[in-house]
Structure 1
């Protein structure tokens, strides 16, 4: 088992980008996650080059450590012996840390059983996906293949209504501003309105500032303006030949000028210019046949860009301390209900 020193994290970062790994395996992302500690566990070939690895994030709970690897592992070749060794090293690391559980959700398609078989063989169990988006990360994502395409070619591939809405936004005078520090508080105001409107809690402003700072050149901030008024905003991540639409926000005002469509088109064109082969809209519900599902509108918007649905292999977990894990799950469920209630009833929030 080999753990990299922080001075060696750039080696793993380069390896991740070479393997077109998910940005959540970037050491930079580990630094975004405040109150989490990071370790990077790697394997090398006979020449000393990295051939597999995984970023492990861990944090303390009242009952012990929790261990999580978002969208890991990363490997340069599909070698079962290599992956078995990596999983065995993860388990050794988890026992040494005395963690309650180890959770992994690979960025790997569900139809490819290679990694799933090895995880189950190693004693991990597959968690049932949440009916809305998934578990810790989305189970279904919507992606657009942009490899070798020009902006005009991609535009021509969009559904007719999406093309119409992009042109409408341009005719109405909507314009996009990018990467301006003064736009972050404006984005956050839009995000607060979106969270209140759609019923989901949001992180503090300091989190998004930290994200942009730590992800550096990989992160971009977009705002769509109508006159002097910001109507929509987004944060994207470009990493390892892929771009992700990570966070989005909008106001209910002036929706008729379609700012989100033009903003997405600008983000897709920037991904093309950066040489990416995939633009990832991230999560959608798996229940796309049900127009009454609360997330159907999100799917309908993303579908207009004429990409494809990708079901990922899912979230795997291995419990090492079952009794403590049981009580932790109970405590987290209660905490989640309290947070949801406080978000829905802000006048009832407790003060300390």
Structure 2
């Protein structure tokens, strides 16, 4: 498979996603990338998917994962089947016991869901929140063919006020690269301690920035040289995705996160993106959940909740399925 040709199709497809890119494969250390592409009657690619392979040597098997795959019109059952037939060859190569995928299809897209189920996939639409590998619910903002003024005017009034307040108070926001990674990591550690989640390593974030060749950026806010908040944004397939964020416990009254989001949204608009993806809002529907504040903050930018179908599993080897799943969990490989 010609990776350049694969990447050209993926990044220009309306079904493309940064987690299906060859650049994402470089970020996922410890996984072996395999690329699948199928063609129409004219020899042009009309569907593809990245398959990440995690070997489990002790059991002579492997887990396959197609993150946010397949990159095609999933209503087209013929193309979906052709992609899956190629994946089965990969499964044979690695003696894989299962394939997991979480495609970017809506939870009400029953045609796409049926096309996968008809191939033998088990659909896990009942999973919620942290039970999924990738968040099932994202918050997205439509910015296609819109100006910065139009988008800003549509924010809730308090959000517009807070953005202007941050600027009046002297908060500055800029994009940067690895030069600000140390400060970003300090804030990420602080955020992890405050909110109770494990953080990725500095090496992971460095790999992320390097792999996407300038399409992944750090966004940092500062006040008088003090770093207040940070984010990692990736621009791929005309979608700008806010993947990671962090902020200081101090200086919240200066509203740095509001200005940071606006800076990233402006960049997305000026870059010609059709969507700004705030990414996950797990448990957005539960006002009592500790994560509800994430949704409350994002919804002020006046986007919409996007609920995906969720996860699909295909089992190739029933005999090792449960044992291998247990081994993966014990080693924290998923």
| TM-score, normalisation: structure 1 | 0.89
The counterpart of 1:166, out of the listed 154, 160, 163, is 163
| TM-score, normalisation: structure 2 | 0.94
1:241 aligns with 2:238: yes
Deviation at 1:322, TM superposition (A): 2.7
1:231 aligns with 2:217: no
Deviation at 1:334, TM superposition (A): 4.6
Aligned to 2:306: 310
Aligned to 1:32: 27
On the 8 A contact 2:192/2:199 being kept in 1, the answer is: yes
**TM-superposition CA deviations, 1:162-185 (whole Å, max 9, x none):** 111111111111101212432111
Question: How large is the Cα RMSD of the aligned pairs?
Answer: 1.7
1:260 aligns with 2:257: yes
Decide which moves more: 218-227 or 319-328.
319-328
**TM-superposition CA deviations, 1:115-150 (whole Å, max 9, x none):** 211110111111255533451111011000001111
On the 8 A contact 1:51/1:77 being kept in 2, the answer is: no
The counterpart of 1:17, out of the listed 7, 11, 26, is 11
**TM-superposition CA deviations, 1:48-84 (whole Å, max 9, x none):** 2111111110011243211001011112684221212
Q: In the aligned structure 2, how far is the partner of 1:131 from the partner of 1:121?
A: 23
1:86 aligns with 2:83: yes
On the 8 A contact 1:172/1:257 being kept in 2, the answer is: yes
On the 8 A contact 1:19/1:76 being kept in 2, the answer is: no
Q: In the aligned structure 2, how far is the partner of 1:134 from the partner of 1:277?
A: 29
Deviation at 1:245, TM superposition (A): 0.3
Question: SS in structure 1 opposite 2:213?
Answer: helix
Aligned to 1:42: 37
Where does the alignment leave 5 or more consecutive residues of structure 2 unmatched? none
Aligned to 1:301: 297
Q: In the aligned structure 2, how far is the partner of 1:286 from the partner of 1:218?
A: 30
Question: SS in structure 1 opposite 2:42?
Answer: coil
On the 8 A contact 2:25/2:52 being kept in 1, the answer is: yes
Q: In the aligned structure 1, how far is the partner of 2:8 from the partner of 2:20?
A: 11
On the 8 A contact 1:26/1:55 being kept in 2, the answer is: yes
Aligned to 2:175: 178
On the 8 A contact 2:39/2:46 being kept in 1, the answer is: yes
Where does the alignment leave 5 or more consecutive residues of structure 1 unmatched? 340-352
On the 8 A contact 1:222/1:235 being kept in 2, the answer is: yes
Aligned to 1:343: none
On the 8 A contact 2:74/2:112 being kept in 1, the answer is: no
